[in-house]
Amino acid sequence: MSELKGYYLPNSLKSIEKEMEFSEKKVNDYTLLIPSINQDNIKEIVRGLKENRKKYLADMPFSEIARAYGEVSRTWSDNKYEKKKIALELLPVLTNLSPELIEFFQFRSIYKIDEKTINFLSTLSLPPEVFKSFAPIEGANTFVRAYAGFRDKIALKKISQYDKEIELVTYITPSNVPGFIESLGIFIASIVKASGLIKTPSVQPLFAPLYAESVAEKSKEIGETIAVVPWAGGDQSIEDVIFRNSNVVSVVSSTQTAMSVKGRIDELNKEGISIKGCYHGGKFGVELIAKEMANRDVAGLAAIDGIGYEGYMCGSPAFGFFVEEGGELSPIEFAEALADEMEKLSKSIPQTNFFRKLREVKIGEIISRPEFDGGQRIFSSSEQNFAVIYESKFNLNPIGQNRLIRVFGVKSLEEVIDKMKPWREYLQTAGVAIGNNRLQRLSELMGKTGFSNIRIAGTVALPRLGEAWDGNYPIYEFFIPDSIHWASINAIDFENEIKELSKLKDQVIESGVFNPSLGIH
């Protein structure tokens, strides 16, 4: 039985392994070694990471960082790459997600961590117009808007002159989007020329070590500035050492975990330790279909959004799909077309029995409620891969996971946005299909309501370059107050993008997700 490491340490810190105790986790024909980290171990790891950062990364040209991550991206896009084959065999066992879903959503997001992304982030400069309206960002097909007070605007202007070094960034990562946040954390730490310490989710300690090993294969020097280790969340003996030595602690987890870490960071900052906390707790999304876009092509793109991470990504349209009346397809016709598209896509991106059973339980709960009064229709899958429910009565309830797609008809999208206001704290992404002439006005309404990501239908679970994240802005959030609310639109020409995305969707249906010619969009 082959052994795999459920952790990663740089070569210069390998001696620490002799001091650690290990448990074993059997996954198929592999034994996954999981270390038990103690306070002495973590002190050595943190100290070594900081020393290695000064030695190898602090003065490394961005061109070298870009080269290394670009090569990692291209390596992972090769279906013959051994680490990718291992990940696609074992991640489905650990996460219950199908290999096809992992390839299309998780890995396709990782493929975008390349030279273009690094060059964009390392030279990022936001125009002052972002405080007044959604402004285009040079180098990205993205609009960005910042809602801020006077002091926050001053803080943002000073960021380009910020000269404080970041030595260590710690990422506490989630289990709902396996691998994506871990790889993003490793990458962003390198962008700010800091060492990166990654805490893996307990259910899935596999991917981050594999990715870190890939980075080390392409750059031994960057590999010396990464550590991936598990520890029990809330273990103060471990976290006290980590937090005190981190310039930035980023938590991507449940709201409860994020707030727990925030409480500890606030206490340490009161002691005079300067730590920037970045907190990404539980969020939900919604899909908004304008009457001018209520057609079969858009139904196909909406289906992709309903499939993404089985609805458990923070931006997934768990609140439902709201279709404006008066379009080519009525809301109930749109629901039927969405079901047809789900059936076709589910053959290329199948669902596992684990999520299928969860959906069946939830459907039983829904149809037993008093409000389910006969004004609804259920469009089910012949192979039990999804269920689309058209509901005649408007309601907001974030239960649209496990490919349980809820469709509502509305008089106007403005009506939906207005009713989302009580959920402001939990809003993240609006998947949107809308004409270009309405885009800016409705985006402004969504930004003021609390949405941070306005994404064209079909891209909800596929983040793009230049976007905001949970009301913050990547990298900027390491330096400036959280009181600025950031929002972004991930495309400039929605009407043309929908045509191009529909071609991509058709490719997925015809050739599957492992097709080498499938473009990264």
Encode pLDDT of 109-133 as tens digits.
888 888 888 888 888 888 889 999 9
Check which CATH number belongs to the domain holding 54 and give it. 3.40.605.10
Single residue among 232, 253, 280 that ends a domain in this structure = 280
> Quick one: pLDDT at residue 161?
45
Average model confidence (pLDDT) for the chain?
92
Mean pLDDT throughout 458-465? 93
Q: Which amino acid is at 498?
A: I
Q: Six-digit token pair at 341?
A: 């598209």
What average pLDDT score do residues 339-367 get?
94
- Note whether 299 and 226 are same-domain residues: no
pLDDT tens by residue, 394-442: 889 999 999 999 999 999 999 999 999 999 999 999 999 999 999 999 9
* Number of domains present in the structure of the chain: 2
Contact 415, 449 (CB under 8 A): no
* Band of residue 153 on the pLDDT scale cut at 50, 70, 90: low
Q: What b/e string do you get for 47-68 counting C-beta neighbours within 10 Å, with b at 16 or more?
A: ebbbbbbeebbeebebeebbbb
Amino acid at 164: K
Asked if 266 and 307 sit in the same domain, the reply is no
Segment 472-491, tens digit of pLDDT: 998 889 988 778 899 999 99
* 276 lies in the same domain as 305: no
Residues 500 and 495: their CA atoms lie apart, in Å, by: 9
Whichever domain contains 433, its CATH number is 3.40.309.10
Q: Position 427: which residue type?
A: L
User: Does residue 363 carry a pLDDT above 70?
Assistant: yes
Who's near 464: CB < 8 A, 6+ residues apart? 112, 140, 141, 142, 455, 490, 491
Identify any residues that bridge with 168 across adjacent strands, giving them in sequence order. 195
For residue 294, give the amino acid letter.
Answer: A
Which pLDDT score, from 0 to 100, does residue 296 have? 97
**Residue 110: its pLDDT value, please?**
87
Residues 346/347/353/358 CA torsion (nearest 10 deg) = 10
Residue 373 has pLDDT above 80, yes or no: no
148-162, 292-306, 328-342, 460-474, range with the lowest pLDDT: 148-162
The pLDDT assigned to 393 comes to 86
Q: Is residue 140 assigned to a domain? A: no
Residue 222's H or E segment, with its range, is: helix 220-223
At residue 81, the pLDDT reads 96
Q: Between β-strands 135-136 and 168-172, what pairing exists: parallel, antiparallel or unpaired?
A: unpaired
Q: What is the mean pLDDT of residues 89-103?
A: 96
pLDDT surpasses 90 at 275: yes
Give the domain-ending residue among 224, 248, 280: 280
Residue 307 belongs to a domain: yes
Q: Same domain, yes or no, for 174 and 319?
A: no
Same domain, 114 and 55: yes
Which pLDDT value is given to residue 429? 97
Q: What confidence category does residue 250 fall into, taking pLDDT thresholds of 50, 70 and 90? A: very high
- The CA distance from 487 to 148, in Å, is 11
Please say if the pLDDT value at position 319 is more than 80.
yes
Spell out the residues 6+ positions from residue 240 whose beta carbon is closer than 8 angstroms to its own: none
Same domain, 305 and 366: yes
Question: What would the mean pLDDT of 43-69 be, rounded to a whole number?
Answer: 96
* Domain residue limits at 395: 287-511
Average pLDDT over residues 333-362: 96
| Structure confidence at residue 158 (pLDDT) | 62
The C-alpha angle 282, 283, 286, rounded to 5 degrees, equals: 155
Average pLDDT estimate for 246-257: 94
Q: 157 pLDDT exceeds 70? A: no
* Domain co-membership, 226 together with 350: no
